[in-house]
Amino acid sequence: MAKIYNWGILAPGNIAGKFVTELKDLETARVMAVGSRDLPRAAAFAETHGIERSYGSYEALVLDPDIDVIYIASPHVFHAEHTKLCLRHKKAVLCEKAFGMSSLEVADMVETARVEKVFLMEAFMTPHQPSYQEARRIIESGLLGEIRHLHGWFGFNRSPYDVSRRLFNPKLGGGALLDIGLYPLFDALWFMGEPIQTEAFADLTDLGIDQSVTASMLFNGGKTATIFASFFSAVGVGTDIYCEKGALRLRRTSTLDQWLEILLPGEPVKTIHYEQSSCGLKMEAAEVMKCLGENRLESAVMSHQSSLLLSDCLDQIRKIAGINYQ
């Protein structure tokens, strides 16, 4: 019989609700507890999602002896603190992106996991998705030749915005780059490696928050990438990969609705749609439990090195574009 892993949810909220809903699709996962700094909030979340235990502090959550792994969904300014709290209580951790506020924080989190000998993974959905796995297989097969350029974007417009809330709050690490810009940036790194040169520009609010950000990168061999993220441009999310002999288009309208398009000159566009059961946030959880079952301390799909490289490149873009957090 397969082991059932008991999950704890640290910080109930919108993304945590989506994660818990999808987690119910996995037979080896059971959401046992939720912790919040506000007990009524934790209790309400528990009642909504059928969770048996609720705690009014994060400390009480990590002290629950029945919890195997904790999903951290607090604002990313708190990720380092909360991750280390869990790791030091020997709880495996799946922590939402952005993993930390800086590469220094991410390095500290990874080192804590190494010292404590506890599993740690950034909750980054895309590399677990079948569309991304297939895109990489196609690239590595040589069908399209080498990548020459990648363009990725993520944008939405739900204005007017409340500047007191997280997206525009500098004290909570608000801004397009850390909230959504890291998705197209991750794509560039995942498919092309580490850039050798970066340029970046940001449209900043009066409080210095990047409401839109653009970056361009140069890679070895003359390969290039451009990324765009915005809270004021309703462009959706996607990535185009331009190769020597054709192109790939990665698209999604939600975590569960994803598809891949393959373009070859003189041929009809081939579109691959994926079943909801093979997509979503639950793929992160499935990878965590797979790694725990194999006694691994990190994932080969979303490795510590991937998170370190991503955070380092985010630091570079912030510095170049003049983005600062208070």
Active site residue 97: yes
Q: Tokens in use for 28?
A: 């080896």
Nearest CA among 287, 310, 283 for reference residue 298? 287
C-alpha 107/C-alpha 130 separation (Å) is 29
C-alpha 93/C-alpha 297 separation (Å) is 10
R_g of the chain computed on alpha carbons: 20
Nearest CA among 282, 319, 288, 296 for reference residue 122? 288
C-alpha 247/C-alpha 270 separation (Å) is 11
Beta pairing partners, 10: 35, 72
Nearest CA among 120, 208, 193 for reference residue 150? 193
**Catalytically annotated residue among 97, 223, 245, 319:** 97
C-beta separation of 215 from 198 below 8 A: yes
The secondary structure of 128-180 as a DSSP string is: GSHHHHHHHHHHHHTTT-SEEEEEEEEEEE-PSP-TTSGGG-GGGT-SHIIII
Q: Which residues are catalytic?
A: 97
